[in-house]
C-alpha cells in the first residue's frame, strides 16, 4: 500500500482530498493533548480567553509520551483512546482544528463537526508506541507543564505513519472496513464451494 505524504499544517484543501482508508506519512508540526489538557482549553474558551496554541489548520495527537531516553526526542508515544476527547473536540474543530490522531471510535457530534468544517481523524497503531516515537524528531512542552506527560507538547514529526479512519465527508473506516472484509470472505467461500 502506497502512503500519501502529507506536509503539515493540514489545510482544509489538503484534508478534503484524504479518504477513509488512506495510508499517510505526516511531516511537520503536531500538538499533543489528552483529556485533562482539553478540559483546560475548553475552560479558557468558556471564559472568553485565548488558547495557548492556535489550533487553526493544526493536528492534535492524543498522546502522553513517555520520558525520552538519551538520544531520542521522546520515549514511547502511542495513541490514547480518542472518545475521551469527544466532549471537547467539536468546539476545537469549529475553531479550525483540522486533524486528530488517536485510536478508537468517535462520537456522532465529532463526526458532524468534521463534516461541517473539513477535518480528518487519523489512526495510529496502539501497539507500536516505540516505533511511532522514531518519527518524532523534536519535542517541547508548550503549556500545562504541571500535567507531566499530559502537558501540551509541540512535536516536530517526519514520516509519521497513520491511517485515515474518518474523512472530512464522514467516510468511516470503522464501517466500510468490516463490510469490505465480510465481502472478501464471502467471495472466498463462494470460490471454495464452486471449486
Q: Of the CATH numbers 3.30.870.10, 3.20.130.10, 3.10.20.30, 2.40.30.10, which one belongs to the domain with range 4-194?
A: 3.20.130.10
Alpha helices in the chain (DSSP H): 12-17, 35-46, 89-94, 108-117, 129-133, 173-194
Q: How far apart are the first and last CA of the chain?
A: 30
Q: How far is 187 from 166, CA to CA, in rounded Å? A: 26
Neighbours of 126 (CB within 10 A): 14
Neighbours of 178 (CB within 10 A): 10
* pLDDT over threshold 70, residue 6: yes
Residue 156 near residue 133, CB atoms below 8 Å: no
Q: Provide the pLDDT for residue 76.
A: 86
Residue 47 — pLDDT band, cuts 50, 70, 90? very high
Q: Provide the pLDDT for residue 184.
A: 67
| Residue given cell 497503531 in the structure block | 125
Q: pLDDT tens digits for 117-162?
A: 999 999 998 767 777 888 999 999 999 999 999 999 999 999 999 9
Q: How far is 93 from 58, CA to CA, in rounded Å? A: 10
Cβ neighbours of residue 190 under 8 Å, at least 6 residues apart?
A: none
Q: How far is 93 from 119, CA to CA, in rounded Å? A: 7
Diameter of the chain measured on Cα atoms: 68
Q: How far is 34 from 84, CA to CA, in rounded Å? A: 8
Nearest to 26 by CA among 7, 49, 12: 7
Element (H, E) at 111: helix 108-117
* pLDDT over threshold 70, residue 45: yes
| Residue given cell 485533562 in the structure block | 36
Amino acid at each position: 500500500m502506497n502512503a500519501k505524504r502529507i506536509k503539515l499544517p493540514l489545510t482544509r484543501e489538503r484534508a478534503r482530498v484524504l479518504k477513509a482508508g488512506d495510508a499517510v506519512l505526516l511531516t511537520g508540526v503536531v500538538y499533543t493533548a489528552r483529556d485533562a489538557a482539553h478540559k483546560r482549553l475548553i475552560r479558557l474558551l468558556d471564559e472568553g480567553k485565548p488558547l495557548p496554541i492556535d489550533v487553526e489548520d493544526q493536528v492534535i495527537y492524543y498522546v502522553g509520551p513517555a520520558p525520552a531516553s538519551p538520544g531520542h526526542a521522546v520515549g514511547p508515544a502511542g495513541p490514547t483512546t480518542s472518545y475521551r476527547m469527544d466532549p471537547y473536540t467539536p468546539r476545537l474543530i469549529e475553531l479550525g482544528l483540522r486533524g486528530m490522531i488517536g485510536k478508537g471510535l468517535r462520537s456522532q457530534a465529532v463526526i458532524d463537526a468534521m463534516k461541517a468544517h473539513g477535518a480528518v481523524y487519523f489512526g495510529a497503531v496502539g501497539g507500536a508506541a516505540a516505533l511511532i516515537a522514531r518519527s518524532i524528531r523534536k519535542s517541547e512542552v508548550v503549556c500545562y507543564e504541571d500535567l507531566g506527560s499530559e502537558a501540551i507538547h509541540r512535536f516536530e514529526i517526519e514520516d509519521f505513519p497513520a491511517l485515515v479512519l474518518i474523512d472530512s465527508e464522514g467516510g468511516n473506516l470503522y464501517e466500510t472496513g468490516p463490510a469490505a472484509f465480510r465481502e472478501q470472505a464471502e467471495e472466498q467461500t463462494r470460490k471454495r464451494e464452486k471449486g
